[in-house]
Structure 1
Amino acid sequence: MALGPRLDLRQSQSLVMTPQLRQAIKLLQSSNVEVTAFVEEELERNPLLERDDRPEPATRADERAPEAPAPEPTDAHAAATSGEMPAESAAPLDADYGNVYDSDGPGGGFAESGGRGGRADFDDSLSDIEDLADGRKSLREHLGEQVRLTFGNAQERLIAAQMLALVDPAGRMTIEDWQIANAMGCDVAQVAGVRARLQRLDPVGMFCRDLRECLAVQLAELNRLDPCMDRLLDNLDMLARRDLRGLMKVCEVDSEDLADMIAELKRLDPKPGASFDAPPAMAVVPDVLMKRLPDDGWAVELNPETLPRVLVNRGFHARAVVGAKSRDDKAFIADRLQSATWLVKSLEQRANTILKVAAEIVRRQDGFFRHGVAHLRPLILRDVAEYVAMHESTVSRVTANKYIATPRGTFELKYFFTTAIAGTLGGESHSAEAVRFRIREMISAETMEDVLSDDAIVERLRKEGVDIARRTVAKYREALRIPSSVQRKREKAVPA
């Protein structure tokens, strides 16, 4: 058999991802803040892009008949709102096919459930003057002003300034007085006196060594540090174990007095400095707005505040082409035009895809929006993907980092995707989130004589048609941070 070079023709299929296709996938799963930042960079980098200042077009999906069968999408509608990226034949999105990647795009994002406060009226602006952050002073600036007004003696003011530099953000200062006295060459009693005065500054309870001292200072400021309360502070570990009967014996009080003492402790701040410098909570700007229609249906529309609108400046492009003299100039202009066209189409397709997925979620979770969490239905990505004719990964990217403002609050789109728990005797399945809500309701309605164990909760849920195991109930209860039935019985024996 002779060996030698020869020419063969082979045909194969492979999936390649160009840089612009990877960027389109990234835009699909990015939040509105990230998309806005990316568009701002492109506006600075691409001279053919400009902001679209024309009036906002109406972008809405009405859900008037939630239970009606889904209509079959037409070819034109499916092409306009499909989950696939724009094809190379539709527009020249790629500048160079030699510069390709063969790895998959980044996957879906984070998911956290839970509702946020929102407005049910979308006719007015969602922002208001009250949402503006005030210019608060820092904790050290606030304390520094009080130190200058409290201490007239220069040496005491210097000691107070040293302590102010040593206090941690939570308000603790674990360094002992003798250590500060040795470092500054002063008397220990003088340092202790300065610390005692600092502890009474606003917020009260700063500069303490531990939790007990912090709570004791706050109680003393309220004139509530009596011997019984002092013994309660000495046994905070028993309170953490919820050993209320032992605390009644140690503090020499009855159940009613102990309940009042524990209630007073709950009103105190264990870390008085922690919330002072906390940054203001960032308001979640929803990507989708939802409101009820007069005919009792739902209107779903994109939030225009989160939609960066850009267009291609064709006039400038025509002038630039005429003025181009070299081949490099013409190649640069063609590349910028291609990039601008791709960005405009990608942003439009991203908006259409988000609206289409959000409308389907609203249709399927109609019971939740009308009646609450107890009516949340089990939903998986495949259910929505089959209806909107997209891939599950596309739906996952669309629902990541996207929020919808509803009459019940603002939720992340992924909140509505929950696992299913089978029903008894082959009945209808139930959403895991709805089951957790029902467990919380049962425990909230408990009385001292009727504290439900996990087995009792299982029996009640099975009577309601939920086929659930005891270990699942225990897992959900722990996730809700609800103590066991034994601990709850102790708490109800001495209500606090």
Structure 2
Amino acid sequence: MALSTKLMMRQGQSLVMTPQLLQAIKLLQFSNMELNAFVEEELERNPLLERTDDAPDPHALLADVEPLSDAAESGGSVDFNDPGETDWSSESLAVDRGALEASLGTELSNAFDDDRTAPAADFAEGAGLSATSWTGSSAGQGDGEGANLEAYAANPTNLKDHLEAQLMLATSNPAERMIGLMLIDCIDDAGYYVDNMAETAARLKTPIARVERVLSIIQGFDPSGVGARDLAECLAIQLREKDRFDPAMQALVANLGLLAKRDFAALRKICNVDEEDVADMLGEIRQLNPKPGRAFGGGSIQPLVPDVIVRAAPGGAWHVELNTEVLPRILVNNSYVARVTKSQSNDVDKTFMSTCLQTANWLTKSLEQRARTILKVSSEIVRQQDAFFRQGVEHLRPLNLKTIAEAIGMHESTVSRVTSNKYMATPRGLFELKYFFTASIASNNGGDAHSAESVRFRIRHMIEQESPTDILSDDAIVAKLKDVNIDIARRTVAKYRESLKIRSSVERRREKSHMY
């Protein structure tokens, strides 16, 4: 058979994702900070876009959103607001902030840290921050621009600059200063020297003894414990400054592994002290700072701002709305488009303006579609998890992306993108949308399944309420859960307990026997 080249016409269908479609998909999974950064770039790039301080029109934004059913599966009613009655006014919102605790590291965090739970946010009417508190704007200014509080804040001193300033005062020797600067560069945010001493000496072509001598100078700087190579050395530096590094304390610091396991009997034997002395030594250890560099932080902390707000409505319903403070407010300046179009003189200008107009219209429509999708998904989550909002985490239902996707007529991948990096402010606190999607744990009697998160809550509650004389083993927890119709394996209980950073029954018994 002869081979030849031919030109043929064939008709077919294929799905092609345009660059704009890909960008619209990315907009869905952007957090509010990422979205605002993207919009800022578009405002600088596109002369037809401009910012507006006017609130978006809820009727235009939600014109094609059908009202959802009021009946919740748990028996209560859920008010998702008719599109014509949606309240987009800025509401006050109170968010409690939990204190950030420094841990002693992955191996020893259980030995030193206490569990603390931040209180739930209070959403009582009239409580919280005003609308201008979120934006930083002031009602008394007539220029329309809010005061920039960051302009009045002093630049925080970081750990590196703080140590370098002390180094300049500690030594006048140029060589030692150079070695010190090299060592300070190798100190991480927690305050630990993380490089290899021999390699540092080799790079500087100087004896390792000299490098160690300069490091000992740095270890005398503020904050106490900085420049240590490990946790034991960090604690030892601080204890020496307090003049409490006696032989017994040296033995304790050298056996921090036993302290993490709560093996106080072995510690008493090694330190050659009685039980009361061990308790006093542990009290002194807990007063030390295992991560001294954290006092300087790594920059400003950006608070989480909710994308969706859920409030209790009259009649036992729930009111779900978007947080307008995080929605970009932009519009296309059509009057400017008309004016510029009349003065266009060449094809290049016409092409540029046409592209800008197309991009501007696409962006405004994409932002509206993104807002509608987030509201749809959030409303369905509230509908499905009505029992959680009313009665707490113990009643959190098993939920997956497929259930939400089928309920609102969207694809699972779309729901997954919408729930990424989005937060919901509720009367029970601030939660990421993905928090409401949990695995299913079967029931003993064939009834409704239980969510993994609610089972974790039950396990934590059981252990917190256990008696010092009756420590619950994993098998005992399994038996108690079966009493409330939760069918779960012992290894699953152990996995959930470890995810909650709860020690084993042996370690808890040893700890509580020492306490009581």
TM-score (norm 2): 0.75
Partner of 2:420: 400
Structure 1 position 124 matched with structure 2 position 148: no
Structure 1 position 273 matched with structure 2 position 311: no
Structure 1 position 465 matched with structure 2 position 485: yes
Alignment of 1:413-492 (within 5 A): 413-492=433-512
Partner of 2:359: 339
Between 375-384 and 314-323, the greater mean CA deviation after superposition:
314-323
Partner of 2:52: 52
Partner of 2:104: none
Residues 406 and 63 of structure 1, relative CA distance in 2, 3 Å threshold: farther
CA distance, structure 2, for counterparts of residue 440 and residue 289 of structure 1: 28
CA distance, structure 2, for counterparts of residue 464 and residue 410 of structure 1: 29
Tell me, yes or no, if the aligned pair for 2:158 and 2:298 is still in contact at 8 Å: no
Structure 1 position 291 matched with structure 2 position 299: no
Shift of 1:472: 1.0
Kindly provide the amino acid, as one letter, of the partner of residue 322 in structure 1. Answer: K
User: What runs of 5+ residues in structure 2 fail to find an aligned partner?
Assistant: 85-116, 137-148
CA distance, structure 2, for counterparts of residue 269 and residue 370 of structure 1: 41
Shift of 1:346: 1.1
The aligned length equals 452
Superposed CA deviations along residues 206-239 of structure 1, whole A, max 9, x for unmatched, are 2445433321232233343343222212322332
CA distance, structure 2, for counterparts of residue 142 and residue 371 of structure 1: 50
Partner of 1:15: 15
Partner of 2:368: 348
CA distance, structure 2, for counterparts of residue 468 and residue 209 of structure 1: 44
CA distance, structure 2, for counterparts of residue 70 and residue 233 of structure 1: 57
Between 198-207 and 301-310, the greater mean CA deviation after superposition:
198-207
CA distance, structure 2, for counterparts of residue 227 and residue 494 of structure 1: 23
Kindly provide the amino acid, as one letter, of the partner of residue 323 in structure 1. Answer: S
Which residue, out of 315, 320, 334, partners 1:314? 334
Partner of 2:40: 40
Which residue, out of 139, 163, 175, partners 2:180? 163
CA distance, structure 1, for counterparts of residue 221 and residue 493 of structure 2: 47
Tell me, yes or no, if the aligned pair for 1:64 and 1:295 is still in contact at 8 Å: no
Partner of 1:211: 231
Tell me, yes or no, if the aligned pair for 1:288 and 1:301 is still in contact at 8 Å: yes
Partner of 2:98: none
Partner of 2:254: 234
Structure 1 position 362 matched with structure 2 position 365: no
Partner of 2:242: 222
User: What runs of 5+ residues in structure 1 fail to find an aligned partner?
Assistant: 78-113
Superposed CA deviations along residues 261-299 of structure 1, whole A, max 9, x for unmatched, are 223223312232244242332212221122233544322
CA distance, structure 1, for counterparts of residue 209 and residue 416 of structure 2: 65
Kindly provide the amino acid, as one letter, of the partner of residue 44 in structure 1. Answer: E
Alignment of 1:108-119 (within 5 A): none
- RMSD (Å) for aligned C-alpha atoms: 4.1
Shift of 1:470: 1.2
Residues 122 and 351 of structure 1, relative CA distance in 2, 3 Å threshold: farther
- Secondary structure of the 2:262 match is coil
CA distance, structure 1, for counterparts of residue 400 and residue 77 of structure 2: 19
Between 468-477 and 335-344, the greater mean CA deviation after superposition:
335-344
Partner of 2:29: 29
- Secondary structure of the 1:298 match is strand
- Secondary structure of the 2:245 match is coil
CA distance, structure 1, for counterparts of residue 433 and residue 258 of structure 2: 43
Between 49-58 and 427-436, the greater mean CA deviation after superposition:
49-58
Superposed CA deviations along residues 24-72 of structure 1, whole A, max 9, x for unmatched, are 1111121122222222222222222222333444589999764468999
CA distance, structure 2, for counterparts of residue 70 and residue 388 of structure 1: 16
Tell me, yes or no, if the aligned pair for 1:312 and 1:341 is still in contact at 8 Å: yes
Kindly provide the amino acid, as one letter, of the partner of residue 124 in structure 1. Answer: S
Shift of 1:148: 5.6
Shift of 1:145: 4.3
Tell me, yes or no, if the aligned pair for 2:168 and 2:177 is still in contact at 8 Å: no
Shift of 1:413: 0.6
Looking at both structures, which has the greater relative contact order when contacts are Cα pairs under 8 Å and sequence separation is at least 6? 1
Kindly provide the amino acid, as one letter, of the partner of residue 284 in structure 1. Answer: L
CA distance, structure 1, for counterparts of residue 319 and residue 496 of structure 2: 34
Partner of 1:81: none
Alignment of 1:41-120 (within 5 A): 41-57=41-57, 66=72, 67=75, 120=123
Which residue, out of 257, 270, 288, partners 2:277? 257
Alignment of 1:145-224 (within 5 A): 145-146=165-166, 151=170, 154=172, 159=176, 162-163=179-180, 165-167=182-184, 168-169=187-188, 170-173=190-193, 175=197, 199-224=219-244
Residues 57 and 123 of structure 1, relative CA distance in 2, 3 Å threshold: farther
CA distance, structure 2, for counterparts of residue 389 and residue 430 of structure 1: 25
Residues 13 and 206 of structure 1, relative CA distance in 2, 3 Å threshold: same
- Secondary structure of the 1:342 match is helix
Tell me, yes or no, if the aligned pair for 1:29 and 1:398 is still in contact at 8 Å: yes
Tell me, yes or no, if the aligned pair for 1:116 and 1:410 is still in contact at 8 Å: no
Superposed CA deviations along residues 392-418 of structure 1, whole A, max 9, x for unmatched, are 222111111111122322211111111
Residues 116 and 3 of structure 1, relative CA distance in 2, 3 Å threshold: farther
CA distance, structure 2, for counterparts of residue 308 and residue 389 of structure 1: 26
Partner of 2:96: none
Shift of 1:463: 0.5
Residues 427 and 235 of structure 1, relative CA distance in 2, 3 Å threshold: same
Between 256-265 and 167-176, the greater mean CA deviation after superposition:
167-176
